[in-house]
Amino acid sequence: MDMLWTEGFESLLQIRLWQTIKLVTSRCRIGLLFLVATFVATVSISANVSGQTCHAGDCQPGVISGPYSTVQTAENTASNFPLCKSAACTSGSWPGQIEGLDAEQNIGSSYQFYDQGAYNIDTNIAVGRTLSGQNGQVLQWVNNFFIQAFDKVTGQPQFTFAGGTLGDPRNVTRLWSASTQAECQGTAVNVQVIYDRLDDVFVISRHVGYTVGGISHYAWCLAVSSAPDLSKGKTVWYAYEYKMDTVIPCVTSSANCTTGSVYYYYPDWPRIGTWSNGFYITFDLLDPTHQFSEAGFEACQLDRAHIVRGAASNPMTCYSYLVPGGDLPSLIHSVDVSDIDSAAGPPAGEPEYFLSIVNPSNAQQQGGDGQNWCNRKASPCTSNQLALFSWGSSGLVGPSFIAVNPYTPGCYDTSAPGKELNTICVPEPTTNAASVGAYGVVSCGDAKNTPCIDSLGDRMANRLTYNKLTSSGAGPNGAYLTASHVVMESAANQSTGIRYYILSVANGTASVLVNSGASGPPDLMDSSNKLFFYMPSAALDAQGNLGITYTTSGLACSGCQTQPNPAVYFDVLPWGATSPVTPTLIVQGSGDEENTVHWGEYAATDIDPTDNLTFYGMGEYFNTSQTGVNNCASPPANCHTWQTKIFRGQYGVNF
């Protein structure tokens, strides 16, 4: 392993000897593009940065560096997962919603599934096309290893163990070769599954960590199905591994990955999207030498054309975006990458799109000054920008800024210096009501021993969909991005709601078509500010109707027949409407998540590629409170009690 690391490091020196550096200002429209030679041994970067003074907005400087590249470690063709062919897996009908993967299933039987991974799950789904004469599936992932496919007609699970007659979740690591792709045998968090509409295949995207000589390294693991029908034994999986040493930047203290116990930024919060010229991934770059602070992000392009055929792929190409160490954390991070979600793809030459919120800086406030995170207590810090990047013939460029209705990120914490990245304030019925504070004071996210959920308010939610739509009359005509994130609705108790957008895009630029909030349709929120809304995911159907899956939770309600435990909802903003329709309750939980603040990262709303009208959604809930932290190795236990629900329907029919 140490020899492999040495060979990788020699490649790193060769690739990083000369680089193209693009200096941009990440909160200011004044920028400077230049080329500079960067010698690896001295890491000397110099540039004329005059003219970057800003009188409005923030001037936190960001640097786009690259391109970097890494070749595939190996490709492996793996057989499909064992399939359940009994009547239990082939009969029945989808009743509108089905139970997805749960932490405890078939306990005490040979089909027992019991989650022993993280308390939180990053569950998400992908919806496949149903081709003539074939079956279609919904593919679901849960941490840390497990996957299941559900038939779109029967709702029954399809994967099992060899000879099984009931569905049983499968461990995905078998798709990668233990001998040539050993790193991908490891535990992976933050996994995504998507459906590539251009090639009609499912995609699994994972990143793993491994250690060589005491140093942490990282690899990307990608697998694609050879066909859209996962219920066929002849369907195989093409699995790829890419070691990331030559594309993830070195932390400053490592002197270009030559000294110290930490070499690389930690890749976190990954996203993946299908585009006309490749698969694109993004991930945060966290600095382990600064308490894993957000330093920026990275975007990479993978060779989709060869990967979907199981052929040797061209190298992965990446660019990084980093702010100076003195400006940490970056106001721009957790960037979503657009994923084609319509029958028509982008026109020839259209660049890939990336979008993030811009967290509030001191300079964005009236009379403020400075490029660090706003820490004002007297009144809420706000931002009125989104940051747009694109990847065309010149690689990654940006950011350009989109003016939007002002927002305060959900659970934005100014109760003490350095707390701004703490976005934990969503209460549950078991939360101590006295710990739910107003904006600027200590809330349940700062208190100990009281359940509270992370709103993830400092970042965009999953997904960023791309839709190219045509219609007659007043219907949609053009290309659109849809996005959503969590915002504060009331300073009195920091209650949260869902901010959502439809952006018109062309040639790497974007303009606002729909922006909920002050001058648009209302946010999704509780007008009484008792319920907190979080975990959104938005998608657009072929008629331009915007569907959003989200979760609600609140403090215990005296005298209420039903307590506001976390519940999953779905709502629709019809095309051209000024407000959403009445929300649909998907499932009301009767328990809380009490042993972790982390709910997950990947709530999902997808459009069925068969008709481009049917929304599929997925959310998490609890019927038994998840409280345990000890003796969690085997059931029955209260350490892992999460459940998931998968639902579907069309606007005007079911919603």
pLDDT digits (tens, 9 = 90+) for 470-528: 998 899 999 999 999 999 999 999 999 999 999 999 999 999 999 999 989 999 999 99
Indicate if 60 and 102 belong to the same structural domain. no
Same-domain pairing of 545 and 567: yes
What's the pLDDT score for residue 116? Answer: 74
Residue 7 is part of which domain span?
2-65
With contact defined as beta carbons under 8 Å apart, do 139 and 193 qualify? Answer: yes
Calpha distance 463→466 (Å, rounded): 10
DSSP code at position 14: H
Do residues 125 and 159 share a domain? yes
For all residues of the chain together, what is the average pLDDT?
89
Are 362 and 459 in the same domain?
Answer: yes
- Say whether both 491 and 521 belong to one domain: yes
At 369, the pLDDT band (50, 70, 90 cuts) reads: low
Of 65, 85, 101, the residue that ends a domain is: 65
Q: What's the full length of the chain, in residues? A: 655
- Residues 173-182 have pLDDT tens digits of 999 999 999 9
Say yes or no to pLDDT of 33 above 80. Answer: no
Q: Say if residue 95 is in the same domain as residue 211.
A: yes
Number of domains in the chain: 3
Q: Does 639 fall in a domain?
A: yes
Angstrom distance (rounded) from CA 610 to CA 504: 24
C-alpha 504/C-alpha 485 separation (Å) is: 18
> Does 540 lie in the same domain as 440?
yes
pLDDT in tens, 280-327: 999 999 999 999 999 999 999 999 999 999 999 999 999 999 998 888
Helices assigned H by DSSP within 143-199: none
**What pLDDT does residue 9 have?**
31
- Both 78 and 60 in a single domain? no
pLDDT given at position 274: 98
Q: Is residue 87 part of a domain?
A: yes
Single out the residue in 222, 243, 264 at which a domain terminates: 243
The secondary structure element, H or E, covering residue 388 is strand 383-392
**pLDDT at 250 exceeding the cut of 90:** yes
Both 222 and 184 in one domain: the answer is yes
150 and 125 fall within a common domain: yes
Inside any domain, residue 485: yes
Answer yes or no: is 369 within a domain. Answer: yes
| Structural domain includes residue 546 | yes
The angle subtended at Cα 587 by Cα 585 and Cα 591, nearest 5°, is 130
Three-state DSSP string of 261-286: CCCECEEEEEEEEEECCEEEEEEEEE
With pLDDT > 70 as the criterion, what percentage of the chain qualifies? Answer: 90
The pLDDT value given to residue 365: 72
For residue 28, what pLDDT is reported?
Answer: 38
Check residue 564 and give its pLDDT. Answer: 98
Q: Which of 388, 389, 380 is nearest to 407 (CA)?
A: 380
> Do residues 589 and 448 share a domain?
yes
Whether residue 463 has a cis bond before it, omega within 30° of 0: yes
Q: Cα separations (Å) of 171 from 278, 363, 554, 637?
A: 27, 48, 35, 22
pLDDT digits (tens, 9 = 90+) for 409-467: 999 999 988 888 899 999 999 999 999 999 998 889 887 778 999 999 999 999 999 99
Helix (H) or strand (E) holding 387: strand 383-392
Number of Cβ within 10 Å of residue 629's Cβ equals 12
Beta strands 464-469 and 336-340 are: parallel
Q: What share of the chain is helix, strand, coil (3-state, %, to 5)?
A: 5, 40, 55
Q: Is residue 252 part of a domain?
A: no
Cβ neighbours, 10 Å, residue 33: 12
Determine, yes or no, domain membership for 439. yes
Decide if 215 is inside a domain. yes
Condensed to tens digits (0 to 9), the pLDDT of residues 37-96 reads: 322 222 222 222 222 233 344 467 788 999 999 999 999 999 999 999 999 999 999 999
Residue 621 forms beta bridges with which residues? Answer: 643
Split at pLDDT 50, 70, 90, the class of 601 is confident
pLDDT of res. 5: 32
Same domain, 60 and 89: no
Please list, residue by residue across 495-532, b when 16 or more beta carbons sit within 10 angstroms of its beta carbon and e when fewer do: bbbbbbbbbbbeebebebbbbbbeebbebbbbeebebb
- pLDDT for 429: 97
From 181, 212, 243, the end of a domain falls on: 243
Range of lowest pLDDT (360-374, 518-532, 606-620): 360-374
The answer for residues whose C-beta is within 8 angstroms of residue 290's C-beta and 6 or more apart is 325, 328
